[in-house]
């Protein structure tokens, strides 16, 4: 008996906001607005229908017949808008492409990102956990220190910039002397 080989696809659903030209949004607010919980109307069944419809639209009967038959949602969390799909190893690229080409689910604009493709569900779960921890830590850093948490203290940055300016001035004067 032949074992069916599968791939597990970790994906996340992002919810874009309406962009207005007169409004500037800070990075932490942008991260929070994109990573919203999914509405309760988005279920496993609705996601499968959206993926199969995208397969039919972009890859026709061939894509639907080959890749659509082995499609199973193993995990979906509406809280984190993260899910894991199990697909056939031979056709996982079709599923990844169709996921990324989905623009609306249940009338809401969405962006679906494929985060990781793995041969085992355990690795996908570990990647999802690590990703959520990193996201929480990034938000905490932005709350605590903003840019200082990302780039260090302001005094260190100023001295580094001053040093770069001195080096650039020395380079320019050396080049001017060589050209004359």
Q: With contact defined as beta carbons under 8 Å apart, do 119 and 86 qualify?
A: no
Query: By residue range, what is the domain housing residue 84?
Result: 6-145
Q: Which parts of the chain have pLDDT scores under 70?
A: 18-33, 142-180
- Tell me what pLDDT residue 167 has: 59
Give the count of domains, the chain.
Answer: 2
Q: Do 92 and 113 belong together in one domain?
A: yes
CATH code (residue 22): 3.30.70.3250
Q: Do 96 and 14 belong together in one domain?
A: yes
Q: Do 27 and 80 belong together in one domain?
A: yes
Q: Do 113 and 162 belong together in one domain?
A: no
In a domain, 1, yes or no: no
Distance CA 109, CA 15 (A): 6
- Tell me what pLDDT residue 1 has: 76
Q: Do 40 and 115 belong together in one domain?
A: yes
Q: Do 22 and 70 belong together in one domain?
A: yes
Q: With contact defined as beta carbons under 8 Å apart, do 76 and 31 qualify?
A: no
Q: Do 118 and 162 belong together in one domain?
A: no
Distance CA 6, CA 121 (A): 10
- Report the phi/psi class of residue 111: left, alpha or beta, with left for phi > 0 and alpha for psi in -120 to 50: beta
Mind listing the pLDDT tens digit for each residue in 87-138?
A: 999 999 999 999 999 999 988 899 999 999 999 999 999 999 998 888 888 7
Q: Do 87 and 128 belong together in one domain?
A: yes
- Tell me what pLDDT residue 138 has: 79
In a domain, 171, yes or no: yes
Helical segments of 8-91, H only: 27-34, 44-66
Tokens found for residue 116: 């990781």
Cα dihedral sign for 58, 62, 65, 70? negative
Q: Do 31 and 49 belong together in one domain?
A: yes
Q: Do 156 and 74 belong together in one domain?
A: no
Distance CA 29, CA 26 (A): 5
The answer to whether the predicted template modeling score (pTM) of the entire model surpasses 0.85 is no
- Tell me what pLDDT residue 33 has: 65
């Amino acid at each position: 008996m032949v074992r069916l080989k599968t791939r597990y696809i970790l994906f996340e659903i992002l919810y874009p906001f309406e962009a207005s030209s007169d409004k500037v949004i800070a990075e932490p607010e942008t991260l929070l607005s994109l990573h919203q919980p999914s509405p309760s109307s988005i279920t496993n069944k609705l996601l499968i229908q959206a993926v199969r419809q995208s397969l039919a639209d972009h890859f026709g009967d061939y894509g639907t017949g080959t890749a659509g038959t082995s499609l199973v949602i193993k995990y979906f969390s509406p809280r984190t808008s993260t899910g894991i799909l199990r697909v056939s190893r031979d056709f996982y690229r079709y599923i990844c492409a169709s996921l990324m080409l989905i623009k609306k689910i249940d009338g809401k604009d969405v962006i679906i990102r494929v985060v990781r493709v793995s041969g085992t569900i355990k690795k996908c779960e570990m990647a999802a956990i690590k990703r959520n921890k990193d996201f929480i830590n990034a938000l905490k850093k932005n709350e605590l220190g903003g840019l200082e948490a990302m780039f260090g203290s302001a005094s260190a940055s100023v001295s580094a910039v001053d040093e770069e300016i001195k080096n650039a001035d020395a380079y320019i004067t050396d080049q001017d002397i060589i050209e004359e």
